[in-house]
Amino acid sequence: MLLWFIGTAFISVLFVFRDDRFDYRVLALGALLPDLIDIFTGGAWVFHSVLGSVLALALVMAFARRGTAARRMSLAIPIGMFMHLVFDGAFNNTKVFWWPFAGLNFGGAAIPSFDRMWLNIILEIAGAAMLTWVWRTNDLSTPRARHEFFRTGRLVLEKK
């Protein structure tokens, strides 16, 4: 699942943060990161726990200097990871979501987005609709806006 996580993350950040300098490219990476990493472990693991996202946030806060563009960009990764947990329904598996506080064993839990089967089709269609809305409201069909997005990762709701 790609479009669902990217679409929900983009829409959420657009409406919550309203930051003209936010890098949505890095947000998309963060929103996909838990599945991209945990796919190699054979099931839900640390990156589907709240601790994985908190540790990513702590690393950014510890190593990226305050007020720098690098910190602003890096913060999009844990924000995307938190968004992934919310929109993946990762909180439905207490053992995984609250690891290690609910026990050290992951119990062989499947990655939530791989466990939904046919529902993924509906979620991907919803994600495509969200990204279409983002595309249209940010006028990304124009070369100038598209170039700006690919160069800086910025999306700004156009005032029409």
Q: What is the pTM of this model?
A: 0.88
Tens digit of each residue's pLDDT, the chain (160 residues): 799 999 999 999 999 988 888 999 999 999 999 999 888 877 777 888 899 999 999 999 999 888 888 888 999 999 999 999 999 888 877 777 887 777 676 667 777 787 788 898 999 999 999 999 999 999 999 999 999 999 999 987 655 4
Alpha helices in the chain (DSSP H): 3-16, 24-38, 50-63, 69-88, 94-97, 112-115, 119-137, 143-152
Q: CA angle, corner 109, sides to 103 and 110, nearest 5?
A: 155
**Which of helix, strand or coil describes residue 5?**
helix
